[in-house]
Amino acid sequence: MMRTEEHPLLSCEDIMGLLRHFLPAAAVTPDDVLRQLELGHRKRRSSMDFAAGSQVPLKGTPE
């Protein structure tokens, strides 16, 4: 990064502000938000189901 001696300690908030300024904004509609929430929910459910199915019971415990 250029000018590191002028800005040696950037906070997370500083970096987020820079990203908000320099990155293009996505066109987001309410339907887009709901679609993203649904996709995240499906991915989390799939991950939880996979993890539950791949657990090995401890010896001496009921399954």
What pLDDT is stored for residue 63 in this prediction? 59
Token pair recorded at residue 39: 């996709």
Say if residue 58's pLDDT is above 80.
no
This model's pTM is above 0.85: no
Residues 58-63, mean pLDDT to the nearest whole number: 68
What pLDDT is stored for residue 44 in this prediction? 92
Q: Is residue 57 within 8 Å of 63, Cβ to Cβ?
A: yes
User: Which tens digits make up the pLDDT trace of 11-54?
Assistant: 899 899 999 899 887 778 899 989 989 999 999 999 988 888 87
Q: Which of 34, 33, 14, 10 minimizes the C-alpha distance to 22?
A: 14
Rounded CA separation 61/34 (Å)? 42
